Amino acid sequence: MSRIAYVNARYLPMRDAMVHVEDRGYQFGDGVYEVCEVRGGRLIDERRHLERLQRSLGELRIRMPMSPAALGVILREVVARNRVGYGIVYLQITRGVARRDPAFPSPPVPPSVVVTARRLDRSRNEALAAKGIAVVSVPDNRWGRVDIKTTGLLPNVLARQAAIEQGARDAWFVDKGGAVTEGASANAWIITQSGAVVTRHADSAILRGITRTVLFDAIKAYGLSIEERAFTLQEAYAAREAFVTSASQIVLPVVRIDGRIIGDGKPGPVATALRREFHRFAEAG
């Protein structure tokens, strides 16, 4: 079965799913995106993802091309046409197609909209979570507005590749003050020796993950103490547990940071429980 993508009002086989060479997403990374988990064929936390999308578009002054409800219809259609039971759906909106010039097109052009979906291997993801992952730290050399979910991800690409070349799965960005900001495609968390769950406060130095937001509800419901603050790499090395969160991996335990073993080197009980319980707190639609 050929995969189907939505491109500017058309559902097309992947091989025919193209955007123009002068799309500003392609030339400048002038666009935003969202990734939603699909579970049992349903979108997880669609409302929150579409709210964040609207915020990202607003910050970049890109017009919302249609209502959130209309986008939701397209997301579902792409999921259904690709028969995704468990996987992800990807939505990208760019400022559109115009002769190459960094300034906004004047008059404005219609934004380009692309949606794709793909299945993920559930047993592989579960096996990964049961084993835990290794991460390496890299200097955070991104721009100052990573709270906007833009398609401009070159530092993330290079960080991820550096991690893989060092035998790790992902990278954690560290700012000039020695504090961990977040992962290359996930938010970063630790659990201190005293049992506090710590993740960086959401300012313009991290993406406010939807999984992160939902997990706060789970953490509160279980009566764990949360500290929303910067934490250093040294604190992370000494943590009882560590994990990352993202829509595609939910809660993924981290068992090694820069080659140092975290806790007893196995996924910790809190991260494992939060992973198991997460969907009780998420919205499925």
Active site residues: 149
As a whole number of Å, the end-to-end CA separation of the chain is 26
Closer of 57 and 98 to ligand PLP (Cβ): 57
Distance CA(213)–CA(56), nearest Å, equals 17
Distance CA(37)–CA(61), nearest Å, equals 27
Distance CA(285)–CA(217), nearest Å, equals 18
Closer of 96 and 209 to ligand PLP (Cβ): 209
Instruction: Give the pair of three-digit tokens for residue 265.
Output: 């080197």
As measured in angstroms, the least distance from the Cβ of 284 to ligand PLP is: 16
Residues near ligand PLP (CB under 6 A) are 35, 182, 185-187, 207, 209-212, 245-247
As measured in angstroms, the least distance from the Cβ of 244 to ligand PLP is: 8
3-class DSSP state for residue 99? Answer: coil
As measured in angstroms, the least distance from the Cβ of 208 to ligand PLP is: 8
As measured in angstroms, the least distance from the Cβ of 206 to ligand PLP is: 6
Task: Report the b/e string of 79-114 with b at 16+ CB within 10 A.
Answer: bebbebeebbbbbbbbbbbbeeeeebeeeebebbbb
Closer of 182 and 241 to ligand PLP (Cβ): 182
User: Which of 166, 226, 173, 171 is CA-nearest to residue 196?
Assistant: 226
Residue nearest to ligand PLP (CB): 209
Closer of 101 and 283 to ligand PLP (Cβ): 283
